[in-house]
């Protein structure tokens, strides 16, 4: 009866569905992208305004109901998954999807938390501006989610992660109070920068309802290149050269292994490789230009050619279709690995100077635990973020996930040694709580927990996530 009363009360605030009324709908919103977590929410609410969000939270705070804020549900660490069966309420933001204002004079855009990122990209593009966040999930990921996890994507090297692009936030606290943090000015040195606390907090401190982001003038042109290599050391040397020579122009610099081509061709996401022959690694490079392309190309090709002994093939997209094909392939990698079998993923960052050591040592140690793992190691080399993904061997009969703890022990140990991070851009969620404990000091964790208790004393917001 108590559960029924909760659902009835929430329906008075906004559209609400319960597990009892529609099991399949609740299962859909409760399921994580990788299918690792199987618990279901008691219900899902669909507020259409910040006022409704505030009412939901005030009611939940009074009744001590646990809430899970949810955007596009594209996360990979269980950050929006229920932790108990039919005990928690998901607040889904898909109805709060308005682009409120594009302010050209102040070069910013104001949007609601449920706005899909690709819609922001399209809207700013029509106004001859650039919104910098781009990743494989931007067709379904939403504003609140990318802020809550401090998403990065392929353009971090030039524009920074989402944190560097937030000017202002509207947030509803655990008591239902609404806060407006920041403004349209870039420089605001007035005490603690509170909005930064909510970026990367994974919905544990407050619920984001609105955001104002920086937007940028669109470049005049782009250059898209693909380079193949026999050895990772050559990849790192050439990427370092490119960053030193063309740093302010490089928008994306992606590391891709040969396995990516194999998987995409196997699962019909790509017809054939762009290259004449196979190589071990590849660099996918995008440069943005505010100058004449043909003038720049002479200098660029000359400098890259001076390193020809370090790479196999060097491709430059000759038209828009070719450049689109390059990046469509890059965006297909996540789907390709999902189709290939069970996957244990590590979203990590490694100092460039230690990346070769990390790759060599980790692969050697992991192969001792389980031979024939498929190492699908790709990512944003420009900002040292690697998606170090392990796919189960072909025709594997055992439970691949039973090896996860052993894999983590190896990877975390080496990450500490090379001074890397266990989470570069996907957050901690449910999946990486032990990793956080292993790699953060007790003092850091204690301060984080004190902040959580200050903002959410009843622990109603995204409980059991991060800690």
pLDDT of residue 213: 98
Which residue, among 80, 119, 79, 75, has the nearest Cα to 97 in the 3D structure? 119
- Whether 1 shows a pLDDT value over 80: the answer reads no
Contact yes or no for 45/89 (Cβ under 8 A): yes
pLDDT the model gives residue 74: 86
Residue 153 pLDDT level (bands cut at 50, 70, 90): confident
What whole-number percentage of the chain has pLDDT above 90?
87
pLDDT band per the 50, 70, 90 thresholds, residue 111: very high
Give the burial string for 385-396 (b: 16+ CB within 10 Å, else e): bbbbbbbbeeee
Question: Is beta strand 207-214 parallel, antiparallel or unpaired with respect to 108-112?
Answer: antiparallel
Whether the CB-CB separation of 121 and 213 falls below 8 Å is answered with no
**Which residues, at least 6 apart from 299, have a Cβ–Cβ distance to it below 8 Å?**
none
For residue 292, the model assigns a pLDDT of 86
Mean pLDDT within 435-447: 92
pLDDT over 80 (residue 34): no
| Annotated domain spans of the chain | 2-92, 99-217, 220-323, 341-426
Please check the confidence at residue 457 and state whether its pLDDT lies above 70. yes
Asked if the domains at 99-217 and 341-426 fall in one CATH topology, the answer is no
Q: Tell me what the mean pLDDT of segment 83-110 comes to.
A: 97
Q: Which CATH number fits domain 341-426: 3.40.50.200, 1.10.730.10, 3.30.70.2740, 3.40.50.1820?
A: 3.30.70.2740
What class does CATH assign to 2-92?
alpha beta
CATH assignment, 220-323:
3.30.70.2190
Range from 57-66, 67-76, 227-236 carrying the lowest mean pLDDT? 67-76
Fold of 99-217: 3.30.465
Report which of residues 293 and 214 the model is more confident about: 214
> For 385-431, what is each residue's pLDDT tens digit?
999 999 999 999 999 999 999 999 999 999 999 999 999 888 999 98
- Token readout for 199 is 């970026």
- Residues comprising the chain, all counted: 467
pLDDT in tens, 88-97: 999 999 999 9
Spatial CA neighbour of 266 closest among 366, 387, 391, 385: 391
pLDDT tier at 75 (50, 70, 90 boundaries)?
confident
CB distance 384 to 362 below 8 Å: no
Q: Could you give the CA distance from residue 244 to residue 428 in angstroms, rounded to a whole number? A: 33
Query: Which pLDDT belongs to residue 156?
Result: 86
pLDDT digits (tens, 9 = 90+) for 320-353: 999 999 999 999 999 999 999 999 999 999 999 9
Measured CA to CA, the distance from residue 224 to residue 451 in angstroms comes to 44
Q: Which residues pair with 17 in a beta bridge?
A: 44
Task: Tell me what the pLDDT averaged over the chain comes to.
Answer: 95
Q: Of 167, 153, 231, whose CA–CA distance to 199 is shortest? A: 167
Q: Which of 118-127, 149-158, 447-456 has the lowest mean pLDDT?
A: 149-158
């Amino acid at each position: 009866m108590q559960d029924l009363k909760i659902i009835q009360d929430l329906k008075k605030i906004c559209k609400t569905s319960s597990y009892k009324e529609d099991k399949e709908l609740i299962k859909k919103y409760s399921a994580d992208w990788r299918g690792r977590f199987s618990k279901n929410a008691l219900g899902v609410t669909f507020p259409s305004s910040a006022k409704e969000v505030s009412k939901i939270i005030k009611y939940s705070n009074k009744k001590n109901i646990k809430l899970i804020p949810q955007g596009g549900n594209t996360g990979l660490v269980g950050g929006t998954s229920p932790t108990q069966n039919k005990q928690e309420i998901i607040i889904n933001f898909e109805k709060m999807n308005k682009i409120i204002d594009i302010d050209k004079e102040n070069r910013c855009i104001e949007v609601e938390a449920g706005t899909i990122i690709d819609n922001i990209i399209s809207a700013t593009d029509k106004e001859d501006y650039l919104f910098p966040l781009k990743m494989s999930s931007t067709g379904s990921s939403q504003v609140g989610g990318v802020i809550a996890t401090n998403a990065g994507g392929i353009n971090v090297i030039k524009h920074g992660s989402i944190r560097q692009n937030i000017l202002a936030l509207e947030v509803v606290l655990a008591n239902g109070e609404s806060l407006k943090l920041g403004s349209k000015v870039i420089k605001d040195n007035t005490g603690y920068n509170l909005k930064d606390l909510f970026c990367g907090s994974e919905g544990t401190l407050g619920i984001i309802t609105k955001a104002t982001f920086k937007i940028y003038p669109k470049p005049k042109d782009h250059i898209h290149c693909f380079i193949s290599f026999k050895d990772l050391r050559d990849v790192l040397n050439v990427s370092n050269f490119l960053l030193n020579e063309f740093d302010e122009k490089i928008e994306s610099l992606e590391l891709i292994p040969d396995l990516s081509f194999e998987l995409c061709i196997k699962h019909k996401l790509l017809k054939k490789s762009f290259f004449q022959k196979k190589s071990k690694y590849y660099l996918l490079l995008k440069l943005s230009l505010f100058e004449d392309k043909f003038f720049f190309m002479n200098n660029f090709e000359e400098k890259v050619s001076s390193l020809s002994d370090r790479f196999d093939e060097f491709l430059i997209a000759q038209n828009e279709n070719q450049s689109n094909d390059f990046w469509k392939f890059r965006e297909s990698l996540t789907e390709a690995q999902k189709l290939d079998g069970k996957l244990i993923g590590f979203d990590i960052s490694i100092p460039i100077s230690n990346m070769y050591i990390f790759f060599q040592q980790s692969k050697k140690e992991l192969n001792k635990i389980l031979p024939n793992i498929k190492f699908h190691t790709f990512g944003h080399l420009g900002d040292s973020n690697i998606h170090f993904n392990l796919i189960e061997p072909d025709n594997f009969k055992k439970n691949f996930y039973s090896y996860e703890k052993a894999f983590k022990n190896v990877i975390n140990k080496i990450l500490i040694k090379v001074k890397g991070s266990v989470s570069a851009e996907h957050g901690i969620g449910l999946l990486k709580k032990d990793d956080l404990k292993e790699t953060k000091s007790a003092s850091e964790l204690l301060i984080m927990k004190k902040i959580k208790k200050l903002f959410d004393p009843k622990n109603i917001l995204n409980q059991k996530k991060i800690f």
